[in-house]
Amino acid sequence: MDTSATAALPCHDVVVVGAGPVGAALALALADADLDVVVQDARPPGESLRGDRSLALSHGARLILERLGVWAALVRIPGAVTPIVAIDVSQAGGFGSTTLAAAEVGLPALGYVVGYRALQQAMDLALAHAGIAVRHGVSVTAVRSAATHATLTGTGAPEAVQARLAVVADGTGTGVEGLVRDRHDYGQVALVANVWPAAPHRGRAFERFTDDGPVALLPQGDHCALVWTATPERGQELLALGEMEFLSALRAHFGTRAGTFTRVADRRSFPLALEFARNPVAGRAVALGNAAQTLHPVAGQGFNVGLRDAFELAQVVLDTPREALGDAAMLQRYVRGRRRDRYGGVAFTHGLVAVFGSGLAAARWPRGLALTLLDVLPPAKRAFTRAMLFGLH
């Protein structure tokens, strides 16, 4: 890199890498500040780099999206939002179950299921309405920090970009110099699909723990989004089955607690791993969302933790003088403020997999006891529900 050339570049206050939902949330939270904010995104305008998938938004996520002006745009998209009014939690092959209900905590819904593309569309509309320009087609491949600024380089841009603070929300964080992410491979895949129930789902979600791992059914429109944990070999077998054979396999594995299903579509799978940056900061760069932590999909916490990353970083930025943006003291305030929630998200999801995903028959009794106690102890149920809705603070 030509250091003399980069030294002559203008230095922005904040550069956000990635205009997906997490990066866009940060940019929107900073929209009214007197800051020079640049947003770069690898995708072409109006397109998505990801295939459509179902996201479970907690009630806390809805509150953030309302404050950012995104929720109103999202609910105007036909069929984009499906409320979750109750969650049925059980285990296969053993006793014990509990139901988490929105009415028990005085809310209209525990959460909402939305499609990724619909959420991205609403985010793009909110960015445009706020007058936030996005530099599309720019893929940042390296983020390097110096004493006073970070330099971002990549493809699709005529020159490097400098900023007091670089925020990486590209889903991977691989280009950030000095960012270290621990990885735990679960040795499993998540098979996702859309399945149509024989009877209306009425906004009820299901989380069922089996010897092979958790299986989730989320209400979405007139169907349910399925997330089925399996070994890679079993995942390939399930993908290869005909439609009726697959539905029979689902019934045999899940049971009839959610009724029966008449159709399946859009089957695919992806490997499951926990990736976690214990320190999401490297120099003057900070990683958000999946770039900082990629969680197991059990309990649907990943996106919600990432959205809280963005919103809380914005509050730290807004409370920091311009000349101190990106310095060590500012970034450590963010790290300290997010530590409990980030580590809690990892412990919550990884712990559920470890405790409830065991294939040992001896584990069924303590799992059943845990579910029974959760069901009969209202304070414990409220604490568990609150952690799902708002995270740990």
pLDDT digit string, tens, across residues 23-36 = 999 999 999 999 99
Task: Residue 190: count other Cβ atoms within 10 Å of its Cβ.
Answer: 23
User: What number of residues does the chain have?
Assistant: 393
Query: Residue 377's pLDDT is what?
Result: 63
Query: Pick the residue with more confidence: 121 or 350?
Result: 121
In this prediction, residue 4 carries a pLDDT of: 45
For the ranges 17-26, 87-96, 228-237, which has the lowest average pLDDT? Answer: 87-96
Residues of the chain with CATH 3.30.9.10: 81-115+186-270+361-390
Neighbours of 198 (CB within 10 A): 9
Question: What's the pLDDT score for residue 374?
Answer: 62
Query: What is the mean pLDDT of the segment spanning 175-197?
Result: 96
Q: What is the DSSP string of 304-329?
A: HHHHHHHHHHHHHHHTS-GGGTTSHH
How high is the pLDDT of residue 20? 95
Q: What's the pLDDT score for residue 354?
A: 74
- The helix (H) or strand (E) run that includes residue 40 is strand 37-41
Q: Taking CA 305 as the corner, what is the angle to CA 345 and CA 59, rounded to the nearest 5 degrees?
A: 105
Tell me what the mean pLDDT of segment 161-177 comes to. Answer: 96
CATH code of 3-52+116-182+275-351, in short, is: 3.50.50.60
Q: Quick one: pLDDT at residue 1?
A: 46
- Between the two ends of the chain, the Cα-to-Cα distance in Å is 42
Closest CA to 217 of 311, 21, 86: 86
**CATH 3.50.50.60, the chain: domain bounds:** 3-52+116-182+275-351
Other Cβ atoms less than 10 A from the Cβ of 212: the count is: 16
Q: For the structural domain made of 81-115+186-270+361-390, what CATH number should be given?
A: 3.30.9.10
- Predicted confidence at residue 203, as pLDDT, reads 97
Amino acid letter for position 239: L
Give yes or no for residue 124 having a pLDDT over 70: yes
Q: What is the mean pLDDT of residues 225-245?
A: 97
- The SS3 assignment for 334 reads helix
pLDDT digits (tens, 9 = 90+) for 250-291: 999 999 999 999 999 999 999 999 999 999 999 999 999 999
Q: Region 12-40: what's the mean pLDDT?
A: 97
Identify the residue with better confidence: 90 or 179.
179
The CA-based diameter of the chain, rounded to the nearest angstrom, is 69
Q: Which of 82, 71, 84 is nearest to 110 (CA)?
A: 84
Span 362-373, average pLDDT? 62
